[in-house]
Structure 1
């Protein structure tokens, strides 16, 4: 068992704007992920891991350039999951790293990565395990710019529709499996 907040505070000054954004967003995602886990006892998931990984899924945002959420790094924001995964792997947390790198959107397929010109190395960027899927799904209901405000299912779906049929279909499959 790890202390996600202690890990976050290795990279984020407690009380800073960026730490507050990351922490509050991650707490919202964690809360929903655990609520969904409890609502679906038929899906046997590792509750401790879900709580830890949901708190850490966005740990790489500080390395990106997203001034609206106080991120002053150099990398494009779309790489935050990959960068967070690299950081988590360096800490000996490979399962947590998979959640970080596979949660963006409803996952990113090789075709989407190529078509959108996303500078990611070859890899798997769609959720594989049930824990990865659950956290990916829960994350879609919370933004980092409107902290504490849960999006409606219709709003989440309309956001995915902008990214094409495949992304929306992947999200809808996650909703069928994990939605309330």
Structure 2
């Protein structure tokens, strides 16, 4: 399976967004792979690469002009949109990564209490591969300089803005994947 070919299927008419997505996803894939190796756990590195390259595929259908997204959906929905896109191709495990990488994961309680336009179920990473990608994704933004890696302190501050549990979930991932 070639993730770039799948991206091309959906992004052929959006070359600038495609380039941004590939830059971001490549950085996330490299960091996730390194994190998984560092953890010493038995992770599927090929799957990590593929799924990390595809984790944000749903952004094309969202409305986030600051990062070249001209769709109609709220950006927070990019993960569930990406899941639908990859499910339609039979890539069910990859699709779950899309759905479960937002923030440090979102619980049903988070979704309901914050009135987010998402399914009322837990959308948290479960497998080691999902967690490695979710963790790595926090260090790179698609806005500003997408190649600049955030510091651990910056990531922790961002996670803390979404509450103690969000930060605790990130810290748990950092205890597995951090330096």
Gap runs ≥5 in structure 1: none
Alpha-carbon separation, structure 1, partners of 2:13 and 2:149:
24
Q: 2:126 aligns to what?
A: 128
1:140 pairs, out of 119, 138, 141, with 138
Q: 1:161 aligns to what?
A: 160
State the 1:14 CA deviation: 7.6
Question: Would you say 1:60 and 2:63 are equivalent positions?
Answer: no
User: TM-score if structure 2 supplies the norm length?
Assistant: 0.96
Question: Would you say 1:174 and 2:173 are equivalent positions?
Answer: yes
State the 1:67 CA deviation: 0.2
Q: 2:49 aligns to what?
A: 51
Alpha-carbon separation, structure 1, partners of 2:116 and 2:74:
9
Alpha-carbon separation, structure 1, partners of 2:106 and 2:91:
22
Question: Would you say 1:23 and 2:22 are equivalent positions?
Answer: yes
Aligned length: 178
Gap runs ≥5 in structure 2: none
State the 1:120 CA deviation: 1.3
Q: 2:67 aligns to what?
A: 69
- Aligned-residue Cα RMSD (Å) equals 1.1
Q: 1:100 aligns to what?
A: 98
Q: 1:34 aligns to what?
A: 33
2:81 pairs, out of 75, 83, 104, with 83
State the 1:16 CA deviation: 1.5
User: TM-score if structure 1 supplies the norm length?
Assistant: 0.96
Alpha-carbon separation, structure 2, partners of 1:131 and 1:174:
11
